[in-house]
């Protein structure tokens, strides 16, 4: 039987002399590589608990974070909610909403990995619940702090590209053999497929760069045998500004196209290769090591027109900025680093993309 939640605590800012106590739910790739390293290297945060039942993951968590208590069941967190300030949800997508809602009911701030809900309706209800309880809620759109995207935003701010009218962005992988996990299942409740996975990041970047979207066209395909969810997809977004985004994501790209090609009235920015931070995390490196997020010159992009293009140093990638922003928000009462309303707009685009792919039509928004 489910353990009843304690009465919600009165929301408050964490005192300046006390650490912000964090519980991490899930210790798969997301929890172990993309969340825990940043939690433990953010000065104001303290990783106090990790929830995972898997024996191998428990052993890894105990080795990597001996200061954190290992917990088998999330209900144990809710029973001891008074000993925590923040819950990070890094579990399969279908569990994001119920776990986040339970954390809010326990009076805790919440960070959710993307996509934060399978549907826009569920996402909106979760945002309203956080508002009703006056509790901070954010979504882990760490790709806003990719070095190439930071560089692009700096170029746009400096008007080096002029007026941007096309944003072409791709995440290509080569995963010809399916893993048979939940990400490849077709049940809508799983929120599986590459559109939810990598597409969430690409859509978020397009919204940050170019603003609201007015129409969506999508092609969502399944290329690998035994896969029920999309693994090779394309989106065309029309923005209210008049600019357009062309977004591609694939698990079957044996050779990759450019990572970014951004066209403006004065020139273009072209960039190959993915951000170096993901590679470092997968190698087990920590973000407090020297040289974190620094890209070598041979991987820099170029800016200009035709043969007159010049190399542009890639800004240092800064995934640590997300949790530094979370700490500031919980300490000072300011905004979280990613507004959940932004993530909600992304979910609305994903739903429009699915309708577009099913009907072969352009879907209008707003």
pLDDT, position 5: 40
Distance separating alpha carbons of residues 343 and 356, to the nearest angstrom: 20
Phi, psi of 69 (to 5 degrees): -80, 135
What is the reported pLDDT for 4? 36
What does the pLDDT read at residue 363? Answer: 98
- Mean pLDDT calculated for residue range 333-342: 97
Instruction: Answer yes or no: are the C-beta atoms of 152 and 158 closer than 8 Å.
Output: no
Q: How confident is the model at residue 9 (pLDDT cuts 50, 70, 90)?
A: very low
pLDDT tens profile 81-121: 999 999 999 999 999 999 999 999 999 999 999 999 999 99
Residue 366: pLDDT band with limits 50, 70, 90: confident
Strand partners, 20: 45
Sheet holding 109-113, edge to edge: 69-71, 45-51, 20-25, 86-89, 109-113, 137-140
Is the pLDDT reported for residue 196 higher than 50? yes
The whole-angstrom separation of Cα 96 and Cα 277 is: 25
* Residue 274 CA neighbour count, 13 Å, CB half: 15
Check: CB of residue 297 under 8 Å from CB of residue 185: no
Q: Is the pLDDT of residue 200 over 70?
A: yes
pLDDT at 18: 85
Answer whether 347's CB lies under 8 Å from 119's CB: yes
Residue 17 is predicted with a pLDDT of 73
Q: What are phi and psi of 312, to 5 degrees?
A: -120, 120
Confidence of residue 16 (pLDDT cuts 50, 70, 90): low
What does the alpha-carbon distance between residue 95 and residue 192 come to, in Å, rounded to a whole number?
12
Band of residue 218 on the pLDDT scale cut at 50, 70, 90: very high
**pLDDT at position 312, please?**
98
Stated as kind and residue range, the H or E segment containing 91 is none
Q: Within 10 Å of residue 174's Cβ, how many Cβ atoms? A: 11
| CATH 3.30.360.10 location in the chain | 148-316+348-364
Q: What is the pLDDT of residue 3?
A: 36
Model pTM score: 0.93
Chain centre distance of CA 302: 26
Percent of the chain predicted with pLDDT > 70? 96
For domain 20-142+323-335, the CATH class is alpha beta
Q: Omega of the bond prior to 115 within 30 degrees of 0, cis? A: yes
Indicate if the pLDDT at residue 7 is higher than 80: no
How many CB atoms neighbour CB 107 within 10 A? 22
**pLDDT confidence of residue 74:** 95
Start-end of CATH 3.40.50.720 domains in the chain: 20-142+323-335
pLDDT bin (cut points 50, 70, 90) of residue 182 is confident
Higher pLDDT, 273 or 4: 273
Q: Do 275 and 317 meet the contact criterion of CB atoms below 8 Å apart?
A: yes
Q: What is the pLDDT of residue 2?
A: 35
**CATH node for 148-316+348-364:** 3.30.360.10
> pLDDT tens across 244-258, in order?
999 999 999 999 889
Whether the predicted pLDDT of 344 surpasses 50: yes
The answer to whether residue 15 scores a pLDDT higher than 70 is no
């Amino acid at each position: 039987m489910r353990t009843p939640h304690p009465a919600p605590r009165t929301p408050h800012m964490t005192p300046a002399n006390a650490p912000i106590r964090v519980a991490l739910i899930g210790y798969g790739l997301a929890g172990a590589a993309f969340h825990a390293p940043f939690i433990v290297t953010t000065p104001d945060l303290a990783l106090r608990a990790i929830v995972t039942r898997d024996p191998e993951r428990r052993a890894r968590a105990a080795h990597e974070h001996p200061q954190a208590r290992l917990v088998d069941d999330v209900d144990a967190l809710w029973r001891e909610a008074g000993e925590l300030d923040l819950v990070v949800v890094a579990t399969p997508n279908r569990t994001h909403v119920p776990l986040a809602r339970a954390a809010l009911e326990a009076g805790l701030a919440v960070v959710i990995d993307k996509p934060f809900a399978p549907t826009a309706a569920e996402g909106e209800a979760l945002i309203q619940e956080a508002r009703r309880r006056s509790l901070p809620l954010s979504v882990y759109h760490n790709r806003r702090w990719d070095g190439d995207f930071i560089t692009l935003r700096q170029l746009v701010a400096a008007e080096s590209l002029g007026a941007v009218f096309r944003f072409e962005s791709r995440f290509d992988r080569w995963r010809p053999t399916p893993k048979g996990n939940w990400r490849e299942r077709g049940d809508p409740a799983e929120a599986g497929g590459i559109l939810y996975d990598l597409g969430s990041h690409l859509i978020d970047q397009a919204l940050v760069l170019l603003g609201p979207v007015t129409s969506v066209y999508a092609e969502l395909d399944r290329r690998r045998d035994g896969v029920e969810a999309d693994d090779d997809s394309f989106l065309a977004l029309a923005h209210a500004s008049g600019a357009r985004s062309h977004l591609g994501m694939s698990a079957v790209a044996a050779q990759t196209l450019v990572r970014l090609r951004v066209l403006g009235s004065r020139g273009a920015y072209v960039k190959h290769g993915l951000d170096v931070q993901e590679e470092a995390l997968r190698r087990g490196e920590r973000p407090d090591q020297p040289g974190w997020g620094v890209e070598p010159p041979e991987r820099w992009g170029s800016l200009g027109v035709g043969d007159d293009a010049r190399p542009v140093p890639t800004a240092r990638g800064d995934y640590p900025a997300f949790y530094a922003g979370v700490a500031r928000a919980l300490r000072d009462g300011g905004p979280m680093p990613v507004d959940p309303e932004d993530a909600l707009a992304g979910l609305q685009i994903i739903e429009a993309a699915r309708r577009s792919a099913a009907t072969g039509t352009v879907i209008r928004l707003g």
